[in-house]
Structure 1
Amino acid sequence: MLLILCAIQVYLVKTAYDYKVEQFRAEVKDKIGNITNNFTDLDSSVFYKKELLYQRIAEKFIANKNYRVTVKKELLSNAFREALTQRMREKFRREFKDNEVDFAVIVNKFIVFDNTAKTDTIFSEKPKISNALYGNLASLDDAFMVRSYVGTSSDFKKSQYKLLTEDCLYVSIKNWEQIILGRMAFILVVSVLSMLVLVSLFAMAIKALIQQKKVNDVKTDFINNITHELKTPLTTLSVSTKMLARQEVKENEVVFNKVLDTVNRQNNRLQNIIDQVLSNSLGFEKIELQKQKLKAATLLQTIITDFHLAFPKVQIHHHIQNSDTILHLDKFQLTTAINNVLENAVKYGCQNITLITSEENGMFHISIQDDGIGIAKTKQSLLFEKFYRVEQGNLHNTKGLGLGLYYVDQIIKAHQGSVKVVSDLGKGAAFTLSIPVV
């Protein structure tokens, strides 16, 4: 449709251009018609000489038909060429003050005939610059005909003969294309603006379609992500429920209470899952944290225990130093952030995870290293953008909305901390979460 509208617009502009060209040529013809006026106002004696030349050449031909080969040469080497050229140029300069005009009078036909014999055409040719009687035009390529002069003469010694000649006046206006375009300035501006509007509307429509498709894709991914988020605590609850059903667990109060605590934690996680989804859409400045003072070692140990229950096939090693370090944080939000990093490692093929803590310059660092597929250097700067997921080729082989690491980044920033990643493709990744110590 856009191409059709553009084609119509181009056609209309071309039609307007052709009309302006014809209008311009008509104006030139009118002006030149006033100038030439059959040439009598220029110098009648000079034109009389031209008529005499035509008649003399015709009489020579009538007297001797072999003279045919020199007729054109004698016509073109006329004695009035320079005089007529000069006078015509002066007239043009006065009439066309703002334009430079080149011209030429071309002789096309020279025919001798009588009423009783067959017409004898000495020459009858298409207009060409080499047949110019006078003028300063160098080529007919950029010129157009403004007048045609047909002359007849019968004043010969042998009265039965007559002469028919045809001369055409061609002119060329220097930079006439610019003159036409200048007259079309308004039309061109309107056309360009119309084209821009059409292209802009088309681009907006395409953009809207792309955005609509993206919304549909995000909607589908969002459902998949929610399903994934629910599966993790549900899996833990399923395992814990089965454990609670065992007789040996029932009889061991310590183990029973430990499993029951796990059930309570996962239940709380399910209750807060909607809050987590909502907070994923917020920047860290708008996240409201429910901070409390907690021992870092206790929090991390709990996270590791729950993770091991959910992913028993993944080995998680930990070296928690500074076990007495106290952190002022939102327990639920930070737990979810750390779980996102751990689960993200599992998504991308790791079998072993190492969690190491350290404390330096008032910051508590949690380093989570995995042996997964790793992340290319060119993609690491995009990891924490909303909806971004690392792809393999042009395919996303893992499920998710692309909010996990974005959420991690926003939560750590909300705690006045920072997140760093170090990775090489095929060599796993190491995420370091840093938050202030109380």
Structure 2
Amino acid sequence: MKYSTTLHTIIAVASLLILSYVQFFLLYNTYELKNDHYFFAEKSTITKEYLAAIRNDKVFPGGGAILDKYLIGHMQQLEELYNHDRAAFSRLGQQVCDSAFRDLRKANNLDSLLLAIMKRNGLDRKIRYASTIESVEIAFQRDRYIPLYQQNGSYPFIDPQIQTKAGIRIGGTLENLEANTMAQNLMVSSSMDHTYRISFSLYIDTYNRKQTILGQMMPTFLLSLLSVGGVVLLYFVTFRNWIKQKKLSEMKSDFINSITHEFHTPLSAIIVANRTMQNETIITNRESLLPLTEVVKRQAERLKTLIGQTLEITTMNKLSLQLEKRPVHHLLDELLLDYRLNATESNVTLTLQKNATRDVVLLDPFWFTTIILNIFDNAVKYNARENKEIVVTTFSDRRALHIAIADNGIGMTKEMRKHIFDKFYRGMSETRSRVKGLGLGLFYVNKAINSHRWKIDIRSVEGEGSVFTISIPYQNKNTSYEG
């Protein structure tokens, strides 16, 4: 189950990531599309009237006269330097451009022009703009242009504060000078001698471009989020139901395992007792026959109880205890007798030392028997010695009765003791790997101990043996138990 659940989770997470990536890609493309067409109608209106305002001008109304003053006014001087001293030509060309740019910035009237356009067309959105010049070229001969300034060039004699990646900033405060904010780019030239050519642009945008676009996309974004959330929720519900089905399947398997494990001991005892009673010597001896019939009776009652407890053994979530006041010494005498009779190995020695001065406690006889027999089974199975010994010792103090079950088996490491009560755990050793079993015995022991609210302590030395000590507190009549 662990592998399949992990693989299922990995596939689900990978699918969710792919779905999320596709959704993000679609949302991003939608954003870019809206960004490219944002403010399109208003921008078109502003651009149309801007072009009308500078039909016979450059950059802004009155800008052409300023450029003519500097470029046409220094045309002859620039031509002489170009023919005789290119370095001086470059320096003078930059200085002329710098002076022209400074005057253009001072005379910039685009603020009032754009405000008038907005009012005239009933546009109420607040806008920002930027006006830039990308290149300035002169021609001493018709159509043979020589650059004085070009965007992204190096010009030490032009004020660096007005130079940007988009060109020379003439006016405006807009920072995002990209293609999606460009309203118009123009190149103005004349096909004649001693003239110039200039390229300039107008950028327009609103103050809250991103917020407005995201607001427009909010329904799409919410729908996408809901769809992803719906997929996650559907996966969670499906996965939870799948886990429940897996648990139900496990419970069925546990049920079969539990029956095999728990029914084996009483059935074996009945079979052995029956076989012994068929012996002619035993049949004629009433005193020998009577204990055997008692064994059959007790084990048959245990089988009957087991059938009634099958559901609780399967789920093991809550035990219904039938508490009775019983003398533990008497119960242990019966258990050891039954176990000796059922033991298939003759080299098992069982010893009971009754040191407790007070042995009557509240317990469920069925589950008490389950606890002791499962500890016995483990003591015998995990014992590689030729002579196997189990010593049961009772002792008491003012608060509790204690039952210590010691064996001379293979013992346990610290790591094994941490997991010894885990379901299906059987440890990792050569001896344990040879022993047949399901790893359920001590799991049941721990469940029954916890249901009684008793305590169990384990002391073990690897290679020497283990001691399981069960502490049963003396209880008053008002004490309540829940499994």
- TM-score normalised according to structure 1 size: 0.74
Q: Using the TM superposition, give the Cα deviation of residue 421 of structure 1 relative to its aligned residue in structure 2, in angstroms.
A: 2.6
The Cα offsets for residues 188-237 of structure 1, whole Å up to 9 and x where unpaired, read as: 44433433332333344344444444443443333222212222222223
Alpha-carbon distance change, 16 to 392 in structure 1, aligned in 2, over 3 angstroms = farther
> Where does 1:23-38 land on structure 2 (aligned, <5 Å)?
23-24=37-38, 26=40, 29=43, 33=47
Would the aligned equivalents of 1:422 and 1:431 in 2 still touch at CA under 8 Å? Answer: yes
Q: 3-state DSSP class of the match of 2:309?
A: helix
**What one-letter code is carried by the residue in structure 1 that aligns with 2:351?**
H
The Cα offsets for residues 113-171 of structure 1, whole Å up to 9 and x where unpaired, read as: 87xx66435379566726415247798787853321222346xxxx5565432112346
**In the aligned structure 1, how far is the partner of 2:20 from the partner of 2:286?**
81
> Where does 1:316-355 land on structure 2 (aligned, <5 Å)?
316-322=350-356, 325-346=359-380, 352-355=389-392
Match of 1:10 in 2: 24
Q: 3-state DSSP class of the match of 2:438?
A: coil
Match of 1:368 in 2: 405
**In the aligned structure 1, how far is the partner of 2:277 from the partner of 2:16?**
68
Q: Using the TM superposition, give the Cα deviation of residue 105 of structure 1 relative to its aligned residue in structure 2, in angstroms.
A: 0.3
Q: Using the TM superposition, give the Cα deviation of residue 59 of structure 1 relative to its aligned residue in structure 2, in angstroms.
A: 6.1
**Structure 2 portions without partners, runs of 5+:** 1-14, 154-163, 477-483
> Where does 1:225-264 land on structure 2 (aligned, <5 Å)?
225-264=258-297
> Where does 1:226-305 land on structure 2 (aligned, <5 Å)?
226-280=259-313, 281=315, 287=320, 289=322, 291-305=323-337
Q: Using the TM superposition, give the Cα deviation of residue 263 of structure 1 relative to its aligned residue in structure 2, in angstroms.
A: 2.1
**In the aligned structure 1, how far is the partner of 2:213 from the partner of 2:226?**
20
Would the aligned equivalents of 1:375 and 1:429 in 2 still touch at CA under 8 Å? Answer: no
**In the aligned structure 1, how far is the partner of 2:171 from the partner of 2:355?**
103
Q: Using the TM superposition, give the Cα deviation of residue 92 of structure 1 relative to its aligned residue in structure 2, in angstroms.
A: 8.0
Please, what is the CA RMSD of the aligned residues? Answer: 4.5
Q: Using the TM superposition, give the Cα deviation of residue 434 of structure 1 relative to its aligned residue in structure 2, in angstroms.
A: 0.7
Q: 3-state DSSP class of the match of 1:80?
A: helix
Alpha-carbon distance change, 379 to 366 in structure 1, aligned in 2, over 3 angstroms = closer
Which deviates more from structure 2 when the two are superposed, residues 64-73 or residues 197-206? 64-73
Match of 2:106 in 1: 83
Q: Using the TM superposition, give the Cα deviation of residue 83 of structure 1 relative to its aligned residue in structure 2, in angstroms.
A: 1.2
Alpha-carbon distance change, 122 to 389 in structure 1, aligned in 2, over 3 angstroms = same
Match of 1:432 in 2: 470
**1:151 aligned residue (177, 183, 188):** 188
Would the aligned equivalents of 2:131 and 2:200 in 1 still touch at CA under 8 Å? Answer: no
2:147 aligned with 1:122: yes
Q: Using the TM superposition, give the Cα deviation of residue 20 of structure 1 relative to its aligned residue in structure 2, in angstroms.
A: 3.1
Match of 1:107 in 2: 134
Q: Using the TM superposition, give the Cα deviation of residue 258 of structure 1 relative to its aligned residue in structure 2, in angstroms.
A: 1.8
- TM-score normalised according to structure 2 size: 0.69
**What one-letter code is carried by the residue in structure 1 that aligns with 2:445?**
L
Aligned residues: 420
Would the aligned equivalents of 1:55 and 1:153 in 2 still touch at CA under 8 Å? Answer: no
Alpha-carbon distance change, 265 to 103 in structure 1, aligned in 2, over 3 angstroms = same
**In the aligned structure 2, how far is the partner of 1:391 from the partner of 1:180?**
64
Q: 3-state DSSP class of the match of 1:301?
A: helix
Q: Using the TM superposition, give the Cα deviation of residue 308 of structure 1 relative to its aligned residue in structure 2, in angstroms.
A: 3.0
The Cα offsets for residues 332-353 of structure 1, whole Å up to 9 and x where unpaired, read as: 3332233234335556668544
Would the aligned equivalents of 1:337 and 1:411 in 2 still touch at CA under 8 Å? Answer: no
Match of 2:456 in 1: 420
The Cα offsets for residues 49-76 of structure 1, whole Å up to 9 and x where unpaired, read as: 1344344456655676447634355324
